[in-house]
Structure 1
Amino acid sequence: MANGIQLTASDRRILEELTRDGRLSNKELAARVGLPASTCHGRVRALEDAGIIRGYHAEIDPVAAGASVEALILVGVHDAVRDRLPRVTERLRRLPGVQRVFLIGGEQDLVLHVACASVPALRDFIREHLGSDRDLGRTQTQLIFEQHPGAAVIPL
């Protein structure tokens, strides 16, 4: 059960199609998943109300938008800050260039996916926003050369 509703095979097909193209009209979506338009609309509404569909957005290619460098930055948080981790995460999420923030287990606490115009811009980002932040400890930066989205949209 996901967020209070049992996902049906039709729900899973709806989610797969909307993941491929969130701009589908209800009529086209219904045709693709083999449901009457009114039923499809009701299922989409139920998925939205349950929080399974969180929203619709445009997927922007960072390189085409001028960000030629992407990186994953592993970030450690000082022990004294652990009780404030949600606030730290929210602050980092709002930094310019941050695509996503992941709370992880292991040696580090967070991973930031950032997109910058250049390597010097990435260096400046780290210095200005991470290196000077007293809540944060050591960082480790990994450059992203390519991204390849996985096929799975919905958990098995």
Structure 2
Amino acid sequence: MEALAEPGQWKTMLSLALNTGLRIGELAALSWDRVDLASRRLLVKRNVYLSHLCSPEGGHEREVPLNEWAPKVLREYPRRIDSPWVFPQRDGGFIHHPQHTCAEAILRNATRASDPSGVKRWATTPSPATSLCAECLSRPSRN
């Protein structure tokens, strides 16, 4: 089985996705040399699809401006010196199956969000996905 991404990175990954609109495969393929915090922009040059690095959707690289929150989130996120990837797997490589790995992380967090009786905290809200995102973002980072 593939080595999963570090648990604490999901909060940062989700925050960056919400602040930039990057897709999960683009986040998995994002390397630090494509991030310019001083200029508040990043370059989407790659995507992960079927375990391979390829061109982003549409076949063209694009520059994405960073709002005021995205650089702060990335500055606070610990950078691994043994990997060029912003969100590496535990072994330092890029996340080969980001959709699968992300789904597993959501399920793990949903399980953790259950109270002792087994009732999900977000079960009574109209949008479980929105509530789960809020739950993930409100948790302290485990890095």
What range describes the TM-score normalised by the shorter chain of this pair? Answer: under 0.3
Larger Rg computed on CA atoms? 1
Specify which structure has the higher proportion of strand.
Answer: 1
